[in-house]
Structures are given as structure tokens and as C-alpha cells.
Amino acid sequence: MAANKSSRLGVVFLLGLPLLVLACFFPCSSCHCDVSVNKNTGDHDGEAGAASGGIKGMFVFGSSLVDNGNNNFLPDSLAKADYFPYGIDFPIGPSGRFTNGKNVIDLLGDHLKLPSFVPAFSDPKTKGTKILHGVNFASGASGILDDTGSLAGHVINLNQQIRNFEEVTLPELEAERGRCTTSQSLDDYLFVVGTGGNDYSFNYFLTTSTRNVTLETFTANLTASLSTQLKKLHSLGARKFVLMSINPLGCSPVVRMGRPTHNGCMQKMNRAAHLFNTHLKSLVDGMRAEMPGSALVFVNSYKIIRDIIKNPISKGFKDASTTCCEVASINEGGNGILCKKGGQVCGNRSSLVFFDGLHPTEAVNVQIATKAFASSLKTEVYPTNIERMTTRNM
């Protein structure tokens, strides 16, 4: 991937565009970037029309819950979903999405009326006009911390995802749009960040290096790191942020298997997720002062999924505890999370909460995306929903 990244970056400078790119290293008040803003509407003239609410696309960062297939292209990664039964309900079959059909990103794209699925950064075909409606940088098993996910082999941590955006996609986007990519010209993109769960599941609760660190200290350091990463994206032009909470980790089948639970869930894991989400929600208020011109929405997928698990029938589900696909146990050479390749799969996928040992079904993703986009409950979206954020200044 590194070789691919460097070669793609080099294309920007070698195909007759060096003056445009070099100009973008200087303030746009002193360069001749082709940024034309309609003073009456605030829209940018001379571009293809944006989708719902003026949103042209999404740049996505995070882990498997929002990964559109980046790990497919990592030869040494053990965290892949590019085989059946993943994608059994997806238009093109297995694609690297960790669910049976669409993930939350695909469904948000539907709500925003984006013309196509957001492509994976690692796919060699993700270049040229294909990046105009956004790029997905997320990587299954990755986390906020650089060492999270190392047990899964090669994954792309959040810092590297942001570097991929800065060093590869941003110059390519500038070339395609024929202008400097400034804070104004990225106003019509959502920056979706969905990460953090693996930093607990595959780091804090799993490694020996954190044994003497309290949960509160680990969480404070984790959210401080995320705050720095969000400010980095802001410095690169991001203005509209969607921050996804951590799901109820203790309620997933892989955690509940053979362990004592309370009300069907492992409370130690859920407490960690709830603590992180409390810090994340606080960032929404605190970061706006530190990131001028920004708008942030916190999506409480923890509550949305927890409400389904507590009373599945009322939410249209029948089973909130078992997996839809056949999961290979550790004794069978699996990890207790991913579906067995070519294994059995349930027929009533829309009535189950979990597709594999960790990831929700498309039916759950539909509820998360729908509420993220249009819910009026501040316990589900804070301080407002995505639709309102994208149609007015907050």
C-alpha cells in the first residue's frame, strides 16, 4: 500500500499540475485558486451539484463498523470480510463490509442522496473522479491508538488514515476540482469518525501494558488523542463532523459467550464504552471553540443498539443474542468474531441484531443511520441531527 500511496501522490506533481498544487501551500488570499463563492447563497460555483443539504460526499475514518473494504487490500491483515456470507444482501456481494448488507456509511449516503457508494482508499481504482464524492479510509480492527489492532496483523490506524487523507487524497482532490482545497471548499463534505471500541476490546482489556492504568485514565488519554486527531482534520479543511459513539461492547455475542453477564451483557465492557461516549459527547461542545467554523454531531449508537437489545420485539427484532452467521470458534481456528468462510447463515437476517460475533446486521444499521440523520431526540443525536447540521449553520 505504501508504494501505491507514493506513486499516486507523485501523479499529482507529474501530470502537468505542479503550479496548482504548489499554489495551495500559500494562503488563498495570495494565490489564484479557482474558488468562486456565490455571496447570496454561500454555494461554490463551477462544480457539480451537491447532494441532500448541499453535501457532496463523505470522508470516513474509523474501524470495521464503517470500513468499506480497505482491509481487502492488506495482504497481512486477519481482519477481513471479503468472503461469503458477508455481503449476502449487498448489491455486489462480499465487499469487505462487516455485515450482511449495507453498513451505516452506505445508508447515510442514501439519506444524503450521494450518487454512489463511498470508495475504499486502498482500492487502486479509487482515484480521479471517483474521489469527488468522498473516500473511506476506515480499517477493520484499527483504533485511535497506533498499536491497537496489532493482533490482527496489518491494519491502518487512525493516524495513518489521516495521513492518507492529507498526503494522497487531498492533493488528488485539489487536482480534480481545479482549485485549492480550503476550509470553504470542504464545507460540502461530511467527515465521519467511528472508532474507539477496538482500543478497549483489543488493547485495554487484552494487553498487559495497560494493567496498571485505570479505566478513567486510559479513557481520558484516548479521548485526548482523538481530540488532537480531530483538530488535525480541521486544520486540513474539515468543518462538518459526525462522531459515532462506541457500541455496547459487553452485549456482543463474542463477549457474552461463556462469561457471566448482567441483564444479558457484560457490564465491565459496557461501562468502558459508556465512559468513552460521555467523553466523546463532551468533545462536541468543547471542540467547537477550538475549531472555528466547525459543526459536530454526536451519534449515540450505543443507546440505539442498547434500546433494541432491551426490547427487541418492540423495535422489530426477534433475536438480540445469537449470531446470524456461523462463527468459527478459537478451537476451530477462528477468533469468535468473524463468520466462517462459506459457513451457514440465517434466513431471517432482518430480525437478528448481530450478523457475526461483533457487528450488527444491516437492519440495525438502518436504524442507526435513520436516527443519525433525522432523530429529534438529543439522547440519540447531539446537539442536533445530520440533516439539520447540513442544512443550516449551528
Catalytic positions: 64, 356, 359
Among the listed residues 242, 248, 223, the one whose alpha carbon sits nearest the alpha carbon of residue 145: 223
In 10 A of CB 216, how many CB atoms?
A: 10
Local structure of 197: helix, strand or coil: helix
Angle of CA points 167, 170, 176, to nearest 5°: 130
Contact call for residues 75 and 154 (beta carbons, < 8 A)? yes
Residue type, 102: K
Strand order in the sheet with 57-62: 134-136, 57-62, 189-194, 240-244, 295-299, 381-382
Cβ neighbors of 211 (< 8 A, separation 6 or more) are none
Q: How far apart are CA 27 and CA 182, in angstroms?
A: 9
Q: How far apart are CA 229 and CA 224, in angstroms?
A: 9
227 to 91, 214, 224, 243, 301: CA distances (angstroms): 36, 20, 5, 11, 20
Cβ neighbors of 297 (< 8 A, separation 6 or more) are 241, 242, 243, 284, 372, 381, 382, 383, 384, 385, 386, 389
Q: How far apart are CA 210 and CA 249, in angstroms?
A: 18
> E strands, the chain, where?
57-62, 134-136, 189-194, 240-244, 295-299, 319-323, 352-354, 381-382
Q: How far apart are CA 273 and CA 255, in angstroms?
A: 13
Q: How far apart are CA 156 and CA 302, in angstroms?
A: 24
Among the listed residues 227, 225, 276, 229, the one whose alpha carbon sits nearest the alpha carbon of residue 248: 276
